[in-house]
Amino acid sequence: MPPPLVCLLLLLFLLAVPRPSSVAAEVSRPGGKPHVFPLRARQVPAGVLPRPPSKLRFHHNVSLTVSLSVGTPPQNVTMVLDTGSELSWLLCAPGLQGGAARGESFRPRASATFAAVPCGSAQCRSRDLPAPPSCDGATRQCRVSQSYADGSTSDGTLATDVFRVGDAPPLRSAFGCMATAYDSSSDGVATAGLLGMNRGALSFVSQASTRSFSYCISDRDDAGVLLLGHSDLPFLPLNYTPLYQPTLPLPYFDRVAYSVQLLGIRVGGKPLPIPASVLAPDHTGAGQTMVDSGTQFTFLLGDAYSALKAEFLTQTRPILPALNDPNFAFQEAFDTCFRVPGGQSAPSARLPAVTLQFKGAEMVVAGDRLLYKVPGERRGGDGVWCLTFGNADMVPLTAYVIGHHHQMNVWVEYDLERGRVGLAPVKCDVASQRLGLML
């Protein structure tokens, strides 16, 4: 079973981002040698992670992080890596004396290569962002905003600077230089912002001309792997599912997300009686299925969640006593919960696997990934454990979201060149060894 929430798997993605004119062309070619990097576990304090409007409206303190340097001379920063967001942003200190000692903020005035984006720039006319950029009439600089989990917003300047990741050549990239700080604490890794990795024009992936990247999120704290470039590896029998894109623009469909087609769900091998219309986007675009590294657990829309909850409770009745507390929902959306005697772990090996079926591929969630121990929650001498599938309607959220907890020990490839996502079950520590990484 994973460790408690504040210590669950947090990955340090040591990316290598190429220039579009040189290394990017090399890693984009089929058969080109990919860049391979280890992943490391990191801790992010509770309550520090802002969520854009399309995200869940509650705090998560488990996120994937990437450490890199920005500016000239380089300033080290730690950013949340999010395949569900476009605009990268950094918390910018107001001057040279900003508190950046531990990577909490970026100091733009200390960087010789920092430049604000003017209102007339094409980057300021991006239509991919949830909140369109605006123009500051006084400075003629492009302004961007970001929404937080508590409903507040942070305004900032759209800017560019040099990003350096690993030993790769530097890349000039656009990002939001935000003015508002958020809570942090001394017992975790401070995060300076977010690295957007979706398919939007201003995402880090697009600006780096990266046409394929993949990762394996480990269930261990210190074993995982990230590849930038095509991962044509013989020991990875990937099954691919196509990225889904409606023919017409729809108001509630995120067209730059990594959306796939969810066709069905099985519990312990039994198909759930969910109509196909429930699993597909409706006429407004609501109901798409997104693969998202920026969300911890997986969320299903109400009808699908209710079917999963009913069948999972039925099959686990001989194994685990249900919590039966209608007033309790972990993180506001997880109410399929159980009682486990204190000091014991849930009987993971006996739990029925949950299989998400896609067109051409599937993802099996089994064992330790099915239940999560709620920190500090007890009923008498029992601990409380909840199913790691949440009810999106309770958040609320208008999409199916597959979080990184259910991507553990699954090789996930984002193939933008062919418009598909590849999935293969694999032990991440074994994959790391096969790739020559000593972790």
pLDDT at 20: 34
Which two three-digit tokens encode residue 385? 């454990």
d(CA 429, CA 40): 12
| Residue 298 domain-assigned (yes or no) | yes
| 128, 219, 254, 292: the active-site residue | 292
Per-residue pLDDT of the chain (439 residues; tens, 9 = 90+): 434 333 333 333 333 333 333 333 333 334 456 666 544 434 444 444 343 333 322 233 446 677 789 999 999 988 877 888 888 999 997 643 333 334 468 999 999 999 999 999 999 988 777 788 999 989 999 999 876 444 445 679 999 999 987 666 789 999 999 886 443 333 334 567 888 889 999 998 899 888 988 888 877 655 567 777 776 777 788 999 999 999 998 999 999 999 999 999 999 999 999 999 999 999 999 999 999 988 889 999 999 999 999 999 999 999 999 999 999 999 889 999 999 999 899 999 999 999 999 999 999 999 999 999 999 999 999 999 999 999 999 988 899 999 989 998 899 999 999 999 999 998 887 877 777 653 3
Q: Which residue has the tokens 């500016």?
A: 71
| Residue 294 domain-assigned (yes or no) | yes
Which two three-digit tokens encode residue 240? 């691919």
pLDDT at 61: 40
Q: Output the CA angle 213-159-107, nearest 5 degrees.
A: 100
Contact 353, 371 (CB under 8 A): no
33, 40, 31: which is closest to 12 by C-alpha? 40
Secondary structure (DSSP) of 314-328 = HHHTTT--B---TT-
| Residue 413 domain-assigned (yes or no) | no
Contact 65, 191 (CB under 8 A): yes
Do 220 and 364 lie in one domain? The reply is no
Which two three-digit tokens encode residue 291? 């693969």
pTM of the full structure:
0.82
| Residue 153 domain-assigned (yes or no) | yes
| Residue 258 domain-assigned (yes or no) | yes
pLDDT at 126: 83
Do 142 and 195 lie in one domain? The reply is yes
Do 192 and 320 lie in one domain? The reply is no
pLDDT at 44: 45
Which two three-digit tokens encode residue 61? 């303190």
Do 194 and 280 lie in one domain? The reply is no
Do 172 and 285 lie in one domain? The reply is no
Do 256 and 326 lie in one domain? The reply is yes
Contact 21, 29 (CB under 8 A): no
DSSP 407: G
DSSP 243: P
User: CA 4 → CA 79, 136, 159, 374, 385, distances in Å?
Assistant: 22, 45, 38, 8, 11
Instruction: Provide the number of structural domains found in the chain.
Output: 2
From 173, 203, 228, the end of a domain falls on: 228
> Which domain does 367 fall in, by range?
239-408
Active site residue 292: yes
Long-range contacts of range 315-318, CB-CB < 8 Å, 24 or more positions apart?
A: 315/267, 315/268, 315/270, 315/352, 316/351, 316/352
Contact 34, 26 (CB under 8 A): no
| Residue 439 domain-assigned (yes or no) | no
Do 243 and 224 lie in one domain? The reply is no
| Residue 430 domain-assigned (yes or no) | no
CATH number at residue 201: 2.40.70.10
Do 181 and 269 lie in one domain? The reply is no
| 82, 219, 221, 254: the active-site residue | 82
pLDDT at 220: 66
Do 193 and 318 lie in one domain? The reply is no
Do 212 and 349 lie in one domain? The reply is no
Active site residue 222: no
From 228, 251, 276, the end of a domain falls on: 228
| Residue 163 domain-assigned (yes or no) | yes
**What is the torsional sign of CA 145, 53, 128, 242?**
positive
pLDDT at 97: 35
Do 366 and 222 lie in one domain? The reply is no
d(CA 403, CA 420): 18
From 198, 228, 258, the end of a domain falls on: 228
Do 121 and 214 lie in one domain? The reply is yes
pLDDT at 434: 77
Which two three-digit tokens encode residue 131? 């909140």
